[in-house]
Amino acid sequence: MKPRTLVELSKLGLGNETVVQLRTLELPIDYREAKRRVTGIWEDHQPQLVVHVGMDTAAKAIILEQSGKNQGYRDADIRGFWPEGGVCLPGSPDVLESGVCMKAVCKRVAVEGVDVIFSRDAGRYVCDYTYYLSLHHGKGCAALIHVPPLSRGLPASLLGRALRVIIQEMLEEVGKPKHKAQFKENSTMVLPAKGN
């Protein structure tokens, strides 16, 4: 995902009572690096909610993903690696669900010029793998938003506004709209744990 969109979201903020701090670091399409960084986010920051934003080059709409899958990772990453046996976390459940009801969020958001849809299949590649890891470490306190590529019809400013509205609704959904938010790893929003 392009940092320009996250910069735009950082400028917009999430409203009067929620502050977004943006820190970007390119997260490569790399299973092992994703696992290391996602684990670090949860261990180091103990956030209440992590929102992952990944690009889906085939998408025509913003897609709110409800669940992450543990198995089926058969496509190699940019380094030619894929998880052994196609499994993210051996011995873990096949599917983990977000504590955020994406269908409810999807029904409530309206962004002029942008379609927002709901999905239960994030695609069995690095985004889904990352999401599953985050759902596992965060006990369901994670979300994944797949976005289409930037274009004339979807500039960074519009996508940034759309993400703002969606994330505000997610915060409403989990009942934590007053906590400070931070961005980590170029595509992940982190809400610090209570008391931080």
In 43-115, at which residue ranges do the beta strands (DSSP E only) sit?
49-55, 62-65, 67-69, 95-97
Structure token digits, residue 39: 């684990």
For the chain, the first-to-last Cα distance in angstroms comes to 28
Q: Please count the helices (runs of H) and the strands (runs of E) in the chain.
A: 5, 9
Cα within 13 Å of Cα(121), Cβ side: 4
Task: State the alpha helices, DSSP H only, in the chain.
Answer: 3-12, 31-45, 102-108, 126-137, 156-174
User: Of 181, 179, 182, which is closest to residue 194 (Cα–Cα)?
Assistant: 179
Q: Which residues share a beta bridge with 191?
A: 49
Tokens representing 49 are: 């909610």
Ramachandran category for residue 10: left, alpha or beta (phi over 0 → left; psi -120 to 50 → alpha): alpha
Give me the catalytic one of 146, 169, 173, 179. 146
Question: Annotated catalytic residue: which of 88, 106, 127, 141?
Answer: 127
65, 169, 173, 185: the catalytic one is 65
**146 assigned to active site:** yes
Q: Give me the active site residues, please.
A: 65, 127, 146
